[in-house]
Chains A and B, each alone.
Chain A
Amino acid sequence: GENVEQHPSTLSVQEGDSAVIKCTYSDSASNYFPWYKQELGKGPQLIIDIRSNVGEKKDQRIAVTLNKTAKHFSLHITETQPEDSAVYFCAATSDTGRRALTFGSGTRLQVQP
């Protein structure tokens, strides 16, 4: 089955700096790669996703890049703000049917004011 590795496990940045979180996946058939943000006591919230037919997608301060050859994808957050502090999870799926996701182990992002 699919295996997703995520790093770093913790990341501390100064407000206004950029943050980058990287994930690798094992199944070359994977074709959908979402990123979720989880705040304390809440469920994961989808913040951006990318399909395998594109290499990059942006939404305001957030961008995701995908390298299918190397089987890795990354989340980029620019101009970080204290409210960006949370745990971020990457995920992947190759299943166009049930679309069950395989998640990474998470990155705790701390934005220092």
Chain B
Amino acid sequence: DTGVSQNPRHKITKRGQNVTFRCDPISEHNRLYWYRQTLGQGPEFLTYFQNEAQLEKSRLLSDRFSAERPKGSFSTLEIQRTEQGDSAMYLCASSFRGQWGYTFGSGTRLTVV
């Protein structure tokens, strides 16, 4: 297992288009997190899954954002009708239920033009 994998690494899209990102966590990790990181800032929590259940969504996650984790394995984050303010690095992380520390992926950098 090579860690948390995120695809694509970079995405450039026009304003108003929909985009989808994928995260493959470490296989035995049952917790999965999405964070967003803008330039010069620390990551901000977006949402969290335990197995396939999405247990919490941050207020940062507007109705245009949706995340899924079918079968408790990989996860997808979709942004509909993208806006320039959505430009950021989207980070995925995973952990065991009893573990405090996360393992982050390398992120997907989204640029909305």
Q: Identify the A interface with B (CB < 8 A).
A: 4, 6, 32, 34, 36, 41-46, 49, 51, 89, 91, 98-106
What 10 A-B pairs are tightest by C-beta distance, nearest first?
A103-B42, A43-B104, A100-B45, A46-B101, A98-B48, A43-B106, A89-B42, A44-B104, A43-B107, A43-B105
**Complex Cα distance A4/B4, Å?**
26
Closest to A100 in B: B45
Instruction: Tell me the B residues contacting A by CB distance below 8 Å.
Output: 4, 31, 33, 40-45, 48, 50, 55-56, 58, 91, 93, 95, 100-107
Indicate if the CB atoms of A101 and B105 lie closer than 8 Å.
Answer: no
Cβ–Cβ contact A45 & B41, under 8 A: no
Interchain Cβ contacts under 8 Å between A and B, 16 examples: A36-B104, A41-B106, A43-B4, A43-B91, A43-B93, A89-B43, A98-B50, A98-B55, A98-B56, A99-B100, A100-B45, A100-B56, A103-B42, A104-B42, A105-B40, A106-B40
**Is there an interface contact between A100 and B100, defined as CB atoms closer than 8 Å?**
no
Chain A's closest residue to B47 (CB) is A100
